[in-house]
Amino acid sequence: MFELKPCPFCGSADAPRLYARHGKDGWHDRYMVICDYEDGGCGSGSGWYTTDYEAVDCWNRRKLMTSDEVITALMDLRDEFVAKQPRSEWYKDKTAQGVEKGIELCIEKVREIANEVR
C-alpha cells in the first residue's frame, strides 16, 4: 500500500485518495491522487500518471512555497536574467529593462499579499 501525505493546499490527511481510470481495454491505464471533496477535501489533484507509483510520488512531493521562498525564487530569476544581458546594451534595451521591472513588480506584489495574510 502507498502512504499518502496530507494535502499541501488544505492540510487534510484523510481526503487524499488514489484513483484509477479504466482504459478502453478495461485495464487501469491512468492514476491520480485527488484530495476528495466527498471526504472534506479541496479537490486538488496530482494530475494523471501512467503508474500508481508516479501519481503517489508526485502527490507526496508537492509542497507549498512560503512567500519568502517565492520572493527568493523571483530574485534569483531576475539576477539570472540580468546576468544574461550584454552589459553594453543594457541601458539601450528597453525590453530587457521592462522584463526586469516586471519581475520587480511581481516581487512587490508577493510582499504585499504576504503582508495582508499575516
| Cβ proximity to Zn ion, 35 vs 110, nearer residue | 35
Q: Write down the residue that cell numbers 544581458 correspond to.
A: 85
CA within 13 Å, CB half, 94:
0
The least CB distance from residue 63 to Zn ion, in Å, is 13
Site string for Zn ion, 22-61 (x = CB under 5 A): -------------x-----xx-------------------
The least CB distance from residue 15 to Zn ion, in Å, is 6
Evaluate whether 23 touches 48 at the Cβ level (below 8 Å). Answer: no
By CB under 5 A, is residue 6 in contact with Zn ion? no
**Cα separation of the two ends of the chain:** 39
The least CB distance from residue 90 to Zn ion, in Å, is 45
Q: Which among 13, 59, 8 is positioned nearest to 39, based on CA atoms?
A: 13
By CB under 5 A, is residue 9 in contact with Zn ion? yes
Neighbours of 35 (CB within 10 A): 25
| Cβ proximity to Zn ion, 42 vs 96, nearer residue | 42
- Return residues touching Zn ion (CB under 5 A): 7, 9-10, 12, 35, 41-42
